[in-house]
Structure 1
């Protein structure tokens, strides 16, 4: 009986990949989940694990071939096969394997995985591996943020070990067992792929027992032992050649490796990196390279000493890219109006204590705004739609994104089916999502599928702004500071609590009449909140 090896799902927007290299050859023995091949897309490189244990029976897709998601690339058969592999199998071991080998060579803490027996010189517990958890189909790598524990420290079950940052959120990695940290294989700022080894914990051990390798020793070479595990991995991966598809495109475009910044594992240049460099105007080998004067001018010595250069987190890089892409892609326009918040504020003041007593959550303004928006979206569906090529996709549901500022950057958790919720249900869900965002515990599912977004700059004192739409959505409503202003009402000047509203929309799909009508409906719902209760 044979087992098929197929191209795995590579993310929503990725439909094909190129076979980078095979780590095994026909006849080699492989274990389940052992890396047997590497795929390249224009964004990342992805390792293909063996779906079962057996012998590599056939390689259907050769290195350099382009294959679609789900395509058959090889088969596994039964038997023992050769215990060791040659050629490609020995040329490119995984990062995890190199890290473990380097650690052993450098005199670090040796041991087996969670399924193995105890290591020599350790305590009585087994070593449990902590790996990068899966973070959604479209997320294949993360960046190591803060590391909360070091070698030799005790940890409890579910205690946070470190923080991982993806292009969508930051999440803490909890300890799967109680014990002592025996090995830390990553450093802050490292890029790691899903499934990569992060730490090893001796289960059941107590602090001070067994062999320990201080973190300071793991960060510098030890006499006579060569470089540390991390340094050896970097040395071995230094100068990693561009992916075959990237190399082919570099040759076609006449672009050298020095002109391209690699975003793949260990800095490997991918096809997408070459395309980006060409789009930015990277000169070909036949052209004269730009002079240093074209780069950022160097600061004066006294200024340079006072500067601090910090690498952008993946989340911040993604925020920057998405916002700029929205500006470049959408025909973005903003329309304004103002709303008299008197009626909504009086209703909130009148019922807030009873509301909190009954529902266990405070009555804020976001519940009113969310319901006002969902009512308006039902009337003006174009504001709740998106463009896909030459098609318009109308959403017959309202998943409302709530922009939340955190110390890591802007995130947009989504309240799903907000149009079917009561104000109390909206406030409860918003409270849950806001807390998860502040604690860095938002999941990818919490931020997917939004159809329209609310952003409240008023909490920071903003009086007016022009928000940028959250692509591929076609609209975003900006809320602002409530400020008392003199208003002419019934021929008299009275002081009223007023708020400016700003609707930024994609003019490709939303016409000016629709945008203005939408904003007027939101205004009417807030100035007469009984309309929300009566569904008018």
Structure 2
């Protein structure tokens, strides 16, 4: 941020080490609006995440210099603010002008201004600055329970601190858990959450746009979809993909989860996900066969010591890939917490750049929408993408007898520059062994 006279420049910051450009997805403020420091001013899309950009100063938005959909480099001036000390906001100025008009006109205008102000305040009350969100997350606080004293009723850091000091935050934890318990459908406790409606900035491909010509209509390519297309093209162009699969009997795992899922939800406040068990098995297999946790460079193959699992979270229109950091240091309960929290952040468009960086291997779950076999594209520049499919009951032969068991396919897309069939076969067999070794006595903590 730089200041000239009373004007303040809001520039495109460096959101992450590897991010040099970003696209303005949506302006949350318009010229004439008052903006507080740290208040979200626009939504930015990078190749890693969509995030709200907070204002670095307090003032009135004077001019927007970058249009929605434009891609800019770090350091580009996005908009101009006017220091609040330089004059009153347009709303105050309009109010003073109306004082010299007739009483009827004044009453009408004030009513209109009040109506608009009320609508703006209502819309902004649920927008929280990154600093407020971070503080609330640290203390497990439901921000909807905090009374805001900021502009338009917004919650400030001071409000959160006062809420913590009052002791009310401890009472909000069981309430939030109760809400999760009542609202969590079966899909929440399955491998991952069912896809929900995508964030409003992404147009649905089924939404009608423009005139139908020759039986077709056009859907504009949103920046998120363009970035996904570029990344997928890069992956399949540079990485020679290969694919393999194993079939796993998870009957004991189904029984284990059924035994603990309700008490776990009541105690921990998050669903006990199948995906946590799969992630634990993936970690064990990766430790045994670390080449699956590697990346290719022209000079060497770089093997990652730590296991950071990229978790593919999809909606109807887009995919986010938040990362469970240090998955190799966590138990099943801890992994369930991370999976739930990252999934909810992804679906509510609250992922930060740090949430999506550093992944070393990807875990994908197509079982949430009933798929039984898939061949995913590898997350560049990783070496492998493991996919957990839908658990289905099937007749299988055990000791020359037919039995009904819960079966699942685990698929693997691999970089054939780094990996070959033998090591990948052993890797999948280790995942199979880990998943089939679960029983009702397995400790999840």
Task: Please classify the TM superposition score into its range, dividing by the shorter chain length.
Answer: 0.5 to 0.7
2:37–2:56 CA contact under 8 A, matched in 1 = yes
2:319 aligns to what SS in structure 1?
strand
In structure 1, what is the Cα distance between the partners aligned to 2:318 and 2:346? 10
| Alignment partners' CA distance in 2, 1:172 and 1:451 | 26
Q: Distance in 2 between matches of 1:194 and 1:408?
A: 27
Cα deviation for residue 153 of structure 1 reads 3.2
Equivalent residue number for residue 433 of structure 1: 342
The answer to whether the 8 A contact 2:310-2:362 is kept is: yes
Confirm or deny that 1:209 pairs with 2:92. Answer: yes
- 5+ residue gaps, structure 2, are 96-210
Distance across 2 between alignment mates of 1:511 and 1:324: 23
Tell me by how many angstroms 1:353 deviates.
Answer: 2.9
Q: What is the match of residue 388 of structure 1? A: 297
Judged with a 3 Å threshold, the aligned counterparts in structure 2 of structure 1 residues 358 and 336 are, in CA distance, closer, same or farther, namely same
Match of 2:253 in 1: 344
CA distance in 2, matches of 1:141, 1:328: 23
**Cα separation, partners in 2 of 1:338 and 1:203, compared to 1, 3 Å:** farther
CA shift, 1:138, in A, is 2.3
Deviation of the 1:362 alpha carbon: 1.9
Higher relative helix content: 2
The Cα of 1:478 is off from its aligned counterpart by 0.9
Whether contact under 8 Å (1:372, 1:532) holds in the other structure is no
**Partner residue, 2:42:** 162
The residue number in structure 1 matching 2:380 is 471
CA offsets, 1:191-246, max 9 Å, x none? Answer: 2222222233445555513489xxxxxxxxxxxxxxxxxxxxxxxxxxxxxxxxxx
Of residues 298, 320, 326, the one that matches 2:235 is: 326
> Is the 8 Å Cα contact of residues 480 and 500 (structure 1) preserved in structure 2?
yes
Q: Compared with structure 1, are the counterparts of its residues 145 and 397 closer, same or farther at alpha carbon in structure 2 (3 Å cutoff)?
A: same
| Alignment pair present for 1:200 and 2:80 | yes
Taking a change above 3 Å as real, the CA distance of residues 424 and 128 of structure 1, as seen in their structure-2 partners, is farther
**Alignment deviations for residues 376-400 of structure 1 (CA, whole Å, 9 cap, x no partner):** 0111122112222142222222111
Establish whether residue 311 from structure 1 lines up as the match of residue 226 from structure 2: no
SS of the aligned residue for 2:419 comes to: coil
Query: Which residue in the other structure is 2:175 paired with?
Result: none
Partners of 1:525 and 1:531 within 8 A in 2: no
Select 1:139's aligned residue among 19, 43, 56: 19
Residue 512, structure 1, aligned to residue 421, structure 2: yes
* Separation of aligned partners in 2, 1:201 and 1:425: 44
1:171 matched to 2:15: no
Pairwise CA distance, 1:410: 1.8
Q: Which moved more, 1:506-515 or 1:151-160?
A: 151-160
* Cα gap change, 1:115 to 1:433, in 2 (>3 Å): farther
Q: Contact 1:377 / 1:384 at 8 angstroms: preserved in 2?
A: yes
User: 1:474 deviation in Å?
Assistant: 1.4
Larger radius of gyration: 1
- Cα distance in 2 for partners of 1:420, 1:518 equals 20
Question: TM-score by structure 1 length?
Answer: 0.56
CA 1:165–1:531 in structure 2 vs 1: closer, same or farther (change >3 Å)?
same
Aligned pair partner of 1:130 in 10, 22, 43:
10
Name the count of aligned residue pairs. 326
The question of 1:373 aligning with 2:282 is answered yes
What SS does the corresponding residue of 1:435 show, helix, strand or coil? helix
Give per-residue Cα distances to partners, 1:153-186, cap 9 Å, x unaligned. Answer: 3445544322111222211112445654332222
CA offset digits 1:17-66 (Å, max 9, x no partner): xxxxxxxxxxxxxxxx9xxxxxxxxxxxxxxxxxxxxxxxxxxxxxxxxx
Displacement of 1:358 after TM fit? 3.8
Q: Is the 8 A contact 1:455 1:477 kept in 2?
A: yes
Equivalent residue, structure 1, for 2:399: 490
- In the alignment, the residues of structure 1 paired with residue 441 and residue 18 of structure 2 have an alpha-carbon distance, to the nearest angstrom, of 38
Q: Deviations over 1:442-495 (max 9, x none)?
A: 233322222111010111222211111122221111111112222222332222
The corresponding residue for 1:295 is: none
Which residue matches 2:29?
A: 149
1:84-95 alignment runs, 5 A limit: none
- Check conservation: 2:26, 2:42, Cα contact below 8 A: yes
Q: Distance in 1 between matches of 2:299 and 2:45?
A: 35
* Preserved CA contact (<8 Å) 2:255 2:439: no
Stretch moving more, 490-499 or 163-172: 490-499
In 2, Cα distance between equivalents of 1:321 and 1:364: 32
Pair 510,397 (structure 1): closer, same or farther in 2 beyond 3 Å: same
| Matched-pair contact (CA < 8 Å) for 1:151–1:181 | yes
Tell me by how many angstroms 1:432 deviates: 2.5
Within a 5 Å distance, the mapping from 1:34-183 to structure 2 comes to 114=3, 116-117=5-6, 127-156=7-36, 158-176=38-56, 180-183=60-63
- The alignment's C-alpha RMSD in Å is 2.9
If asked which structure has higher relative contact order (CA below 8 Å, sep 6+), I would say: 2
Three-state SS of the structure 2 residue aligned to 1:209 is: helix
Hey, what's the Cα distance between the residues in 1 that align with 2:388 and 2:38?
Answer: 38
In 2 relative to 1, CA 342–491 (structure 1 residues): closer, same or farther, beyond 3 Å? Answer: same
